[in-house]
Amino acid sequence: MDKVLLGMSGGVDSSVSAVLLKEAGYDVIGTTLNLFSNGTCCSYIDVKSICNKLGIKHFVIDGRDEFKKYVINDFIDCYSNCKTPNPCIECNKYMKFGLMYDKAKELGCKYIATGHYAKTEFSNKYNRWILKKSNSINKDQSYVLWNIPKEILEFIIFPLSNYETKEEIRKIAKEHNLSVASKPDSEDICFIPDGNYKKFLEENSTLKPNEGDIVNSKGEKLGKHIGLYNYTIGQRKGLGISYKEPLFVIGFNKEKNEVIVGTQNELYKKEITITNINLLLFNEINEEINVTVKTRYSVKEVKAKAKQINNNEIKIVFNEPQARITPRTICCIIYR
């Protein structure tokens, strides 16, 4: 019987994952990551209750130092440099598929598992293990899993990969009398439960309100801002300026402490260059290829062409210009 270490958050997805893994014949061990000192993103009471009910072992991994180093510090660094972070992506790479995978090996587990909606499978076409989208169109999370180390893909199980709706998952939870069957999904940043990221930045970094100019793309001053970290690409509300047509944040000038705004047309880009790449299907892109690209979790995939420039850069040319391309937070996921 193969052992699998399952990451459990106390939510319905990871709880049902435990049920499905047990039913599939795995020796399941549950684990919860303690990620920060002032609280936790996980409900330990719910996790313990589920594990006791299912008769599986459970323990806590202290990942506070690693979480601060790789996730919180990155979060602060991004806002300090006029970028908008996606902490879940960094957490997946370094915590769930980094620290947790290392712990699994120590325990003699062959696999690790999480309640993400995604798939891993061996591809004869590419002769390697690959990451695929789940059957759930609305819940697919392959977008936030792009940076999983390719060498561990074959040791990852996503028990929910073949389910199409959240209702199916809740139904399984109810059938097994799990207390979390109706528990709502958490959508907040785990270390900022009140959703006030600006307050978090001001209390945990050197970022403080620092007034500067709001200018248009011609350099004309239109108003004042209260600190660059308070704004993001595509933002329209809260600018405090009036103009003959709607204006949106289209960029920043950190050296001049300026927020740059423009019209809706100025939000669109025909091409971008992506860095920090992680090629899962092949080792390199030898020629320009046709792809579909997802630039934001909530948007549909669009057609584009991709060409690798060097070991860490890929140029993307969209068939149709795309809006609100945000540096750093908007990962460019290429599907084939």
Identify whether 73 is part of a domain.
yes
Identify whether 193 is part of a domain.
no
List, for residues 92-142, the tens digit of each pLDDT value: 999 999 999 999 999 999 999 999 999 999 999 999 999 999 988 788 999
Does residue 187 register a pLDDT over 80? no
State the pLDDT confidence band at 41, using cuts at 50, 70 and 90: very low
Query: Which entry of 91, 109, 331, 332 is annotated as an active-site residue?
Result: 91
State the pLDDT confidence band at 324, using cuts at 50, 70 and 90: confident
Give CA–CA dist 335/289, Å, rounded: 11
Report, as an integer, the average pLDDT of 5-20.
96
Q: Do the Cβ atoms of 212 and 225 come closer than 8 Å?
A: yes
User: What letter would DSSP give residue 232?
Assistant: -
CATH assignment at residue 328: 2.40.30.10
Number of domains into which the chain is organized: 3
Q: What is the DSSP string of 98-126?
A: IIHHHHHHHTT-SEEE---SEEEEEETTT
Q: What is the dihedral of CA 163, 165, 169, 174, to 10 degrees?
A: -140
Identify whether 197 is part of a domain.
no
State the pLDDT confidence band at 40, using cuts at 50, 70 and 90: very low
List, for residues 45-86, the tens digit of each pLDDT value: 889 889 999 999 999 999 999 999 999 999 999 999 999 898
CATH assignment at residue 250: 2.30.30.280
Give CA–CA dist 140/133, Å, rounded: 6
What per-residue confidence (pLDDT) applies to 186?
77
Model pTM? Answer: 0.91
Give CA–CA dist 59/48, Å, rounded: 9
Give CA–CA dist 19/24, Å, rounded: 9
Does residue 331 register a pLDDT over 80? no
Does residue 327 register a pLDDT over 60? yes
What per-residue confidence (pLDDT) applies to 332?
56
Structural domain range at position 116:
3-175
Judge if 143 and 97 occupy the same domain.
yes
CB-based contacts of 293, cutoff 8 Å, min separation 6: 301, 302, 303, 304, 306, 316, 318, 332, 333, 334, 335
Does residue 329 register a pLDDT over 60? no
Judge if 19 and 164 occupy the same domain.
yes
CATH assignment at residue 128: 3.40.50.620
Identify whether 74 is part of a domain.
yes
Active site residue 190: yes
Does residue 296 register a pLDDT over 90? no
Judge if 231 and 139 occupy the same domain.
no
Pick from 104-118, 222-236, 244-258, 274-288: least confident: 274-288
Judge if 299 and 258 occupy the same domain.
no
Query: Which entry of 82, 88, 109, 190 is annotated as an active-site residue?
Result: 190
Judge if 33 and 166 occupy the same domain.
yes
Judge if 148 and 218 occupy the same domain.
no
Judge if 140 and 252 occupy the same domain.
no
What per-residue confidence (pLDDT) applies to 99?
96
Q: How far apart are the first and last CA of the chain?
A: 35
Angle among Cα 252, 190, 325 to the nearest 5 degrees reads 30
Does residue 7 register a pLDDT over 90? yes
Active site residue 82: no
Report, as an integer, the average pLDDT of 32-50.
74
What per-residue confidence (pLDDT) applies to 185?
83
Judge if 318 and 213 occupy the same domain.
no
Identify whether 41 is part of a domain.
yes
Does residue 39 register a pLDDT over 50? no
